[in-house]
Amino acid sequence: MNNNSTYYIELITRYFSGEIAEDELRVLSDWLKADPAHEESFRQYLETWQLIEKQNVNSKLDIDKEWITLKAKMNSPVSANETQVRVVPMSATNNQKLFALKNIWKAAAVVTILLVSSFLLYYYISKPAIVVVTADAGNIEQILPDGSVVSLHASSEIIYPSTFGSGIRNVELKGEAYFKVTHDKTKPFIVASGDARIEVLGTQFNVNTKSSSGSMEVVLTTGKVSVYYKEKPAENVLLAPGEKAVLVSGEKLITKSTNTDANYMAWKTRILVFDSETLAQVVNTLQNVYQATITLADPKLSVCRVTASFNDQSLESVLQVLKETLDLQVKQKGNTIEISGEGCN
């Protein structure tokens, strides 16, 4: 962006004269939004411009009088002998009136352009900006314009307007997130992912748009949510606390069940609880929580059972416990962690 104040003064001038181009209007809009002082300068220029135009219009001829005179001449009968076009010489007085009339039309045109430009400028200034938040370096927490709090899992993304209007609060999610939605019964809160929709009024829930099965999962903690597809809002499924919905977008299916995964929020809480879980299930959970690639060298290892709990421990610490408990070997191979061993009976 050009930081030269003279440049923006020129843009303001071009704006008031109606000569500003659309790309210049966007630049001016960005400059006005960047600093309240810029908006104040614009208002001052606007007041000056309006005063000048008002003075110009008031100092001109009496339009009503001129219009009455013109109509009288137009309605006067034409003599039968008057077949030639009459040429009226332009005296100094007539020249002044013509000049004044042109100025009035010019002022009217400027006012029209000013109104149209004002609308466009208002549109660019008032239109909510789109906010894109991506959790590139790990889990993050984001507060939305209505006070709702979103915890984003690593590699996830949320898109929303900088301000929510008077209607629906729309956000778009890619990945996994936990929502604490501020209650507002007049403004439904909708989370969109592809053609899937989750509608709430005020509640807490977890959404994973990229589960291991390739489907989308919604687990409700408190409150109520309505889950449906954009094209089929009437075929919605209501969830109660402790229930889970699985959405298979390609088949437009929604299945509801009781949530049995104690670790569905482990990515956020770092609290892991395994109660006779298979090692394959444990590895899947660890990959999601720690964003790591873990493989089993032998398929026989997948049926080994694990009973253990961890509270905010590092991946290395968790793997060390598994290693000692199941007599495993853990090796780092590039970006992959490989688990090997004799297997379990």
pLDDT in tens, 289-343: 999 999 999 989 999 999 999 999 999 999 999 999 999 999 998 899 999 998 7
DSSP letters for 302-313: GG-EEEEEEES-
Strand locations in the chain (E)? 130-134, 140-143, 149-152, 157-161, 169-174, 176-180, 189-193, 196-200, 204-208, 216-222, 225-229, 232-239, 243-248, 253-258, 271-278, 293-296, 305-311, 329-333, 336-340
The 10s digit of each residue's pLDDT in 19-76 is 777 777 778 888 888 888 888 777 777 766 666 555 555 544 454 554 455 445 445 5
Residues 158 and 152 sit within 8 Å (Cβ to Cβ): yes
**CATH code of the domain occupying 266-340:** 3.55.50.30
Integer CA distances (angstroms), 329 to 50, 70, 143, 297, in order: 81, 103, 43, 10
Q: What pLDDT, on the 0 to 100 scale, is given for residue 205? A: 92
Q: Name residue 83's amino acid.
A: T
Domain with CATH 3.55.50.30 in the chain: 266-340
- DSSP classification of residue 270: -
Q: Name residue 334's amino acid.
A: G
Closest CA to 60 of 105, 25, 1: 105
**CATH code of the domain occupying 130-258:** 2.60.120.1440
- Rounded CA-CA distance 329/345 in Å is 17
- DSSP classification of residue 79: P
Model's pTM, two decimal places? 0.63
Q: Which of helix, strand or coil describes residue 224?
A: coil
Domain with CATH 2.60.120.1440 in the chain: 130-258
The 10s digit of each residue's pLDDT in 209-246 is 987 667 899 999 999 999 999 999 999 999 999 999 99
- DSSP classification of residue 80: T
Closest CA to 267 of 193, 208, 308, 307: 208
Phi and psi, residue 344, nearest 5°: -130, 150
- Rounded CA-CA distance 282/3 in Å is 56
Q: Exposed/middle/buried for 92, CB within 10 Å: 0-12, 13-18, 19+?
A: exposed
The 10s digit of each residue's pLDDT in 67-106 is 455 445 445 554 444 444 444 444 445 555 445 545 554 5
How many helices, marked H, and strands, marked E, lie in the chain?
8, 19
- Rounded CA-CA distance 148/142 in Å is 8
Residues 186 and 170 sit within 8 Å (Cβ to Cβ): no
The 10s digit of each residue's pLDDT in 101-128 is 455 545 555 555 555 555 555 555 556 7
Q: What pLDDT, on the 0 to 100 scale, is given for residue 79? A: 46
Number of Cβ within a 10 Å radius of residue 143: 11
- Give 330's strand partners: 339
> Could you tell me what percent of the chain has a pLDDT over 70?
74
* Lowest-confidence pick of 59-63, 198-202, 271-275: 59-63
Closest CA to 153 of 168, 136, 167: 136
DSSP letters for 232-263: EEEEEEEE-TTEEEEEEGGGTEEEEEE---TT
